[in-house]
Amino acid sequence: MIRRFSPRRGAVVLALAALAACDSPVESPEQQPEDLAAMVEALGFRGDMVQDFGDYVVVEGDIRIPKAQLLAAQPRPAGDAMGPRFHYRTFNLVGSPKVHQVRVDLSGLNGNPDWQNAAREAIAHWNALPHSYVHMEEGASPDIVVVANCGLGSGTAGRATWPSGGNPGPTIEANPCFSSNHAQRVRNMVHEFGHTLGLRHTNWQSRGESAGSEGAVHIVATPTGKDNASVMNGGTAGESWAGFSYNDIWAVWGLYPIPDPAVTVTYTASGDPIVSWTPVFGALSYTVRRTVWISGHDEFGSFNAIGERGAFTNASSPYVDTGWPYTGVSVCEYNNAPNDYLVNGYGYRVEAVFANGYGTGSAGAATAVC
């Protein structure tokens, strides 16, 4: 099981997110095409893939950047010194617990039910990722607004903005004039939602993209190599939805795991253990498990294992365990021969249960019966 990873932040964080409603004229000299290309390249994007839309530009097909932020950005050396890697994210990510309560407005697709249905299915796919804390739903005060835009061009299915300030990228544009079937629309919507969560193109280097100011940080636990099945590959608008790849799942699990409850154990006056834990936002229930951590050595060598001495579902904190009283010891050691031994440590594991997995916290306890 993947445990929590601490995302590595860059010294420079550039928020490349812009609400469509916030587009306004930039009070600056008119930028010539070659100037825009240089600005875009300074951010690490391809200068030959720039579309000028007045107040903003679109680069590499589906990334929208306002010109005001192009002007404010400080150049940074392009390229990734680490070399080719598998899955990548931007410096900015969605905070917790915000990532578990992302609100999406799909009313901008009311006139395009095919794309609206695809967006709803894409949300369901994101919510079902195993052990991921990502959860989206339609609702008021949206974090992400999805709109239709036939002006993206016949070769572009959609585009999206990056996370900023701990919030997801606020805008996704779907192209109803892009010729596609349902499976292709679903894949494109899953892809664009991935951008709003901070996922870059998996194949960004082979497409000639570079790290830039928004960052291209290798996601821990994804191996080197090529992932042709990744939903985050760029330039794949014509492909059909076939599920997340194995490494897509690991990448999201590494970035947004279900949080673990912090567990403590105290005792009543009569010696019964009191198991307490911090609540995890969004958890459907909690399960308390008595555990035994076993380590030892025998003729086959050293070994480690975890056993269970009972489980209690739908438990509430604090949970008083009246069936395993304190005996004054927390670890028992058995010596069967000069080179053979067995050590038992005792404690509790608390699982915060979600529809798609659980987070686990544990604590030792002096409840052993030796």
Supply the range of the domain harboring residue 217: 78-255
The predicted structure's pLDDT at residue 301: 82
The predicted structure's pLDDT at residue 115: 96
In a domain, 316, yes or no: yes
The predicted structure's pLDDT at residue 272: 92
In a domain, 49, yes or no: no
- Mean pLDDT for 331-353 is 86
Last residue within a domain, chosen from 238, 255, 272: 255
205 neighbors 82 (Cβ within 8 angstroms): no
Cα gap 279→16, rounded to integer Å: 33
- Higher pLDDT, residue 108 or 218: 108
H or E segment to which residue 286 belongs: strand 285-298
The predicted structure's pLDDT at residue 2: 32
Instruction: Answer whether 0.95 is exceeded by the pTM.
Output: no
Query: If you average pLDDT over every residue of the chain, what do you get?
Result: 79
Reading the block at residue 36, the tokens are 């825009």
- Predicted confidence (pLDDT) per residue in 223-270, tens digit: 556 777 888 888 888 889 999 988 889 889 888 999 999 999 999 998
**Is the pLDDT confidence value at 365 over 60?**
yes
Last residue within a domain, chosen from 255, 280, 300: 255
- Do residue 205 and residue 251 come from a single domain? yes
SS3 340: strand
- Predicted confidence (pLDDT) per residue in 279-326, tens digit: 999 999 999 999 998 888 887 888 888 888 899 999 999 999 998 888
The predicted structure's pLDDT at residue 88: 57
Last residue within a domain, chosen from 208, 237, 255: 255
Q: For the domain that residue 234 is a member of, what is the CATH number?
A: 3.40.390.10
62 neighbors 192 (Cβ within 8 angstroms): yes
272 neighbors 323 (Cβ within 8 angstroms): no
The predicted structure's pLDDT at residue 340: 82
In a domain, 229, yes or no: yes
In a domain, 25, yes or no: no
- Do residue 168 and residue 301 come from a single domain? no
- Predicted confidence (pLDDT) per residue in 154-203, tens digit: 788 998 988 989 999 999 999 999 888 999 999 999 999 999 998 888 76
- Do residue 249 and residue 291 come from a single domain? no
Reading the block at residue 365, the tokens are 């306890």
Measuring CA to CA, how many Å separate 310 from each of 263, 292, 317, 335, 349?
17, 10, 17, 26, 11
- Do residue 233 and residue 323 come from a single domain? no
- Do residue 281 and residue 209 come from a single domain? no
* Number of domains into which the chain is organized: 2
- Do residue 228 and residue 311 come from a single domain? no
- Predicted confidence (pLDDT) per residue in 36-68, tens digit: 776 776 666 667 777 776 666 777 666 777 665
- Do residue 242 and residue 305 come from a single domain? no
